[in-house]
Amino acid sequence: MDDSVYANYPPPLTPEQQEYLVSTVKTWALHHGLCVRPAPTFIDKEKDPQGVLATNAPVTLFPSPFPKSAFEHAVAIQKAYNELYARIARDEAWLGKIIEDLIDADDFVANLWKVHLAVKSEGYVQPLSLGLFRSDYIPHRPPGSAESSLRQVEFNTISSSFGGLSALVAALHTDLLSLPPGNPIAYPPHPILKGNNPPENTAVPTLANGLADAHKAYGPSKFDSPLPLCILFIVQAGERNLFDQLELSTRLATFHKIPVFRLATADIQNHTSIPPSNPSRPLIYTPPHSPSTPFEVTTIYLRGFYGPGDYPNPATWAARTHLERSAAIKCPSVLSQLSGCKKVQQVLADPNADTDHLAHFLPNTDAQTIAKIRATFAPQYDLSTSGRGCELALNPSTAANHVLKPQREGGGNNIYRDAIPGFLRSMPEKDWKGWILMELIQPPEAARNMMLRSDGEVLSRHVISELGVFGTVLWRDDGEIVHNKQGGWLLRTKGKESDEGGVAAGFSSLDSIVLL
């Protein structure tokens, strides 16, 4: 298919067709749990004092075209990426050198490092760590080049979200492609849609399986009189993206028969304990609704604690340390969380590094796979005051082609293009090293799509899509990789004019894929 098919995609809708499609998507979303809690800007707390409402997650009405070669490239390297980050997280000396450089410029990173040092001085009791990772990409196609290549935006090692809802969006679009059965008309005919279902999305079984394997690897109860075992999801109070998380906990409960509890970060110290006399340090969870039936936590899955906003006071840092020193398997450990720093990605991508970090961390991976990983790196620079990074960032004409990133997760933290020089000049030079500069990825000529937002608004835009590929890895601190799997993906689509891309942050809609 040549580029001209994009020009009339998606197929235009009459008002009646649009009304049918939008109302089908709205009801499908509520029917299947493709939902979020409404934002307070949409339904304020006074109108929903009991918190009973849910609305559709922001979704595209059509699947978006995505280059097949780029998709296959991303899937093919995920297991090697899993291993790479598992090996970085267990190399405290290598990681520590990078982190120590960030410490004076970034309090959040400094506090995480302190948690690690405190637990290290006492001694870790759990040799296993779990990663539920997501590697994010945008296809790169600068003007004049014939094909898109795959470029990594970032690698997520904590709270990698939307596995649950993205699998539902793939199911939604697949259903729309065949509605009504036998004579589909939900979508007007279009060559891009013809016989082209979204690829299978196994994010939910893959992620749940990673957690279940960790649960099994924990072994029997370490408590004096053995307790039943459970997995604990650590969550943010008032989480709007609850339904995404429930896809995983429901799968764990119904398919794997593993009890799962949700505990808000502020309640950790009230409802969990480590018996002081037990050198194995089992983490005991006492459900407030059933204090007589305590559980022992095998695995802690963090869907909070990824940013400074999750640590409003010293007690929350104490709670993080309490979890970290316990025998529960952490998803992720503090070291694994830190390995996801943007600075680590910049160091890996440095073509002038003294040592070949990829070859060092992946000695058993074939050269071709390593080359495929390297090919996903966009140029990135540190901001040590005399270096190339500063030159590029301070000059408005080169800054225009870059994004400035702090060591943060969750969206909305970056500085783009012409805002970069002034932003840097407004902060003390000693703090620059807390940021990295990255060349902007240039997506192909934007296609169009329509988006149904959570407040019911329908937007039609030129869009840019960002692919995430999920992977799970369980490793021991002696280097043994116990489990390493790839499975499932996420497509997020945003208006072309928007720099940022988070769904939860309000910039993107969940989407699925037609491979071209």
Residue 114 vs 496, nearer CB to ligand ADP: 496
H helices, E strands: number in the chain: 17, 21
Residue 126 vs 493, nearer CB to ligand ADP: 493
Q: Residue ranges for the binding site for ATP?
A: 154, 342, 405-414, 416, 438-441, 466, 494, 500
Q: Which of 91, 235, 70 is nearest to 153 (CA)?
A: 70
Q: Choose which of 91, 92, 101, 154 interacts with ligand ADP (CB under 6 A).
A: 154
Q: Choose which of 184, 287, 411, 506 interacts with ligand ADP (CB under 6 A).
A: 411
Q: Which of 82, 251, 409, 488 is catalytic?
A: 409
Q: Which of 389, 492, 501, 512 is catalytic?
A: 492
Separation of alpha carbons 511 and 450, rounded Å:
10
How many residues in total does the chain contain? Answer: 516
Q: Which of 134, 141, 320, 433 is catalytic?
A: 134
Please give the radius of gyration of the chain, using alpha carbons only, rounded to the nearest integer. Answer: 23
| Amino acid occupying residue 461 | R
Q: Residue ranges for the binding site?
A: 134, 154, 156, 158-161, 239-241, 245, 303-306, 342, 405-414, 416, 438-441, 466, 492, 494, 500, 503-504
Q: Is 111 a catalytic residue?
A: no
The reply to whether 135 sits near ligand ADP by the rule CB under 6 A is no
Q: Residue ranges for the binding site for Mg(2+)?
A: 154, 156, 409
Residues 6+ apart with CB under 8 A from 351: none
3-class DSSP state for residue 230? strand
Q: Is 79 a catalytic residue?
A: no
Binding mask 391-410 for ligand ADP (x = CB under 6 A): ------------x-x--xxx
DSSP 287-349: -TT-TTS-EEEEEEEEES-SSGGG--SHHHHHHHHHHHHSSSEEET-HHHHHHT-HHHHHHHH
Q: Which of 148, 156, 333, 509 is catalytic?
A: 156
CB 404 within 8 A of CB 151: no
Judged by CB under 6 A, the chain residues 417 through 456 that form the site for ligand ADP are 438, 440-441
Q: Which of 405, 433, 461, 485 is catalytic?
A: 405
Q: How far apart, in Å, are the Cα atoms of 84 and each of 117, 315, 345, 357, 500?
A: 23, 33, 11, 9, 27
Q: Is 154 a catalytic residue?
A: yes
The reply to whether 415 sits near ligand ADP by the rule CB under 6 A is no
In the complex, minimum distance from the CB of residue 416 to ligand ADP, in angstroms, rounded to a whole number: 8
Separation of alpha carbons 119 and 281, rounded Å:
12
Judged by CB under 6 A, the chain residues 349 through 378 that form the site for ligand ADP are 378
Helix axes 107-122, 314-325, angle to 10 degrees: 40
In the complex, minimum distance from the CB of residue 288 to ligand ADP, in angstroms, rounded to a whole number: 33
Q: Is 497 a catalytic residue?
A: no
Residue 25 vs 438, nearer CB to ligand ADP: 438
Residue 431 vs 500, nearer CB to ligand ADP: 500
Pure H helices in 375-498: 388-394, 396-399, 419-425
Per-residue tokens: 362: 């992946």
Q: Which residues are identified as catalytic? A: 134, 154, 156, 161, 342, 405, 409-410, 492
List of residues contacting ligand ADP (CB under 6 A): 136, 138, 153-154, 378, 403, 405, 408-411, 413-414, 438, 440-441, 466, 500-502
